Structure 1
Amino acid sequence: MSRFVVTGTDTGIGKTVFSAGLAGALRAHYWKPVQSGLDEGADRDHVAHLAQLPPELVLEEAYRLTEPLSPHRAAEIDAIQIDPARLSPPALDPLVIEGAGGALVPITRSTLYADLFAWWNLPVIVVARTGLGTINHTLLTIEALRARGVPLHGVAFVGDANDDNEQTIAAMGKIRRLGRLPRLDPLTPETLAAAFAEAFPAEMFL
C-alpha cells in the first residue's frame, strides 16, 4: 500500500512541490482536503502541472476557502462550517494527501491537522527545510505527532544541503531521513521528476 500524508514544519517550505514529486513518482492520486487562499490558484492545479497527472488522479477538495489563512479562520470569514467527518480519506491507492501549513494548524476551533492525522492512521511524511531553526521546528513537529500516536514514515528535507542539521534531526527525532530535494530553478515537471528520482530512492516509499 502506498498511501501517505504530507505535512510540514511551517508554511512555504516546499511541501506542495514535494507532494507533486511524490505523486508523480508513485503515479498516485493527489488530494488536498482543505484549500485556503485561491488568488494564486489551488495547490491541486500546481501539483497536476508539476507531476503531470491526468485529471482523474487529481481529486477535488472537500473545502475551498477564499482567504490565505489557517483553515479555521478562512472558513469563518467565508461563513463555512468545516465538518471533520467530511475529511475521511478516499479509498484509493496509491494516494498522496497534503495538509496545510504545519501539523498543528487548526482546521476548526477544536480540531488540529495532527488530530486528523491520528484519526486517519496513515503514514505521515514530515517536510522540513534545511536551514537555521529547522532542528527546533522539526523536532517539535515530530513530538506533537508522536504524542497523538500518528505513524511517521520519515522526514524529507527541502533546500540547500546541511548535513549536520539533517543528521541531528534524524538522530534526535529517531526518525528515518528520506532524502533532500534541492530548490529548483527553473521548477518544471522535468526538473522536478529528475531531482526527486535522484533524491528519493523508490524503496523509501515501499
Structure 2
Amino acid sequence: MTSLVITGTDTGIGKTVVAAGLTQALGATYWKPVQSGLEEETDTEVVARLTGQPVLPEAYRLTRPASPHLSAEAEGVEIDPTRLVLPQGNGVFVVEGAGGLLVPLNRQMLYLDLFARWRAPTVLCARTALGTINHSLLSLRALREARVPVVGIVFVGDPDPEVEATICNFGAVTHLGRMPFMETITSDVLASTVASTLDLDRIRQPLEQMP
C-alpha cells in the first residue's frame, strides 16, 4: 500500500485536476475522504470521468458547499477521524484533501492534523496568481512543522517563473512542474498535459522508496 496526498494552498485552485492527472499517470486509485457540496459534479465523479481509474467512496458526503466541519454540523454529523485512515490494498492511492491545510474537519481537528497522522508523501498545489507567495510559503511551513513529508509543489495557471522560483527558493521545495489552465479537459488532454508538464519521476521516487 502506497499513498500520495494532494493538498493545496486554497480551494478552487485546480487541485482536483492535478489529483486526476496523477491518478491517471500513476495508474492509481483515487480517494477523497470528505466531500462538501453535492449540487455539482463531485471531485470523485470528475476524477472517475477523466481517468477511468478506480475510485473509492467518500467517508463523508456532505450537502453544503462549505468547510467540512460546518457542512457536517448542518446535517447533525461530526466527522470522526478514526474513519479517515489511509486505504489498504495493492498499488498506489492518490488521496485528495479539501481546501487548504488549516480547514477544520471538526471542532478539534484540522486537515493538517490528519496529514500529520498519516505521514504520507504530500504534494502541495498552488496558484501562480497574485498572493501565491504568501499562501505557498505559509503552507510549506505548516507542513514541515507538522513533520509531513513534502514531495514538492505543483503550480497551476499561467507561467510566472520569478514567482515560482521565489517560492521554491524560500520554501526549499522541489518544483514539480506547472499545469496550465485547460479550457476543455478530456482524458487524452489531461494525460498529455501531465506527461509534458509534471516531473513524474520525482513524484514516483518517494512512492517507490516506501515499504
Q: Could you say which TM-score interval applies, normalised by the shorter chain?
A: over 0.9
Task: Give the residue type in structure 2 aligned to 1:185.
Answer: E
CA–CA separation in structure 2 for the residues paired with 1:4 and 1:139: 21
Q: Which residue of 2 aligns with 1:164?
A: 162
Deviation at 1:205, TM superposition (A): 1.6
Q: TM-score of the superposition, structure 2-length normalised?
A: 0.94
Structure 2: unaligned runs, 5 residues or longer: 205-211
CA–CA separation in structure 2 for the residues paired with 1:169 and 1:51: 30
CA–CA separation in structure 2 for the residues paired with 1:28 and 1:7: 17
Task: Give SS of 1:97's match.
Answer: strand
Task: Give SS of 2:95's match.
Answer: strand
Within the candidate set 36, 52, 63, 1:66 is matched to: 63
Q: Are the equivalent residues in 1 in contact too, given 2:4–2:120 (CA < 8 A)?
A: yes
CA–CA separation in structure 2 for the residues paired with 1:146 and 1:97: 19
Q: Which residue of 1 aligns with 2:207?
A: none
- The percentage of aligned residue pairs carrying the same residue is 51
Number of paired residues?
203
Aligned: 1:31 with 2:27: no
Deviation at 1:111, TM superposition (A): 0.3
Within the candidate set 57, 63, 74, 1:77 is matched to: 74
Alignment of 1:194-205 (within 5 A): 194-205=192-203
CA–CA separation in structure 2 for the residues paired with 1:112 and 1:80: 16
CA–CA separation in structure 2 for the residues paired with 1:172 and 1:91: 36
CA–CA separation in structure 2 for the residues paired with 1:163 and 1:133: 15
CA–CA separation in structure 2 for the residues paired with 1:185 and 1:81: 37
Q: TM-score of the superposition, structure 1-length normalised?
A: 0.96
Q: Give the superposed CA RMSD.
A: 1.0
Task: Give SS of 1:95's match.
Answer: strand
Structure 1: unaligned runs, 5 residues or longer: none
* 1:43-62 alpha-carbon deviations (Å, 9 max, x no partner): 10001111222xxx200000
Alignment of 1:90-101 (within 5 A): 90-92=87-89, 93-101=91-99
* 1:139-173 alpha-carbon deviations (Å, 9 max, x no partner): 00011111111111100000000001111111100
Runs of 4+ with deviation above 2 angstroms: none
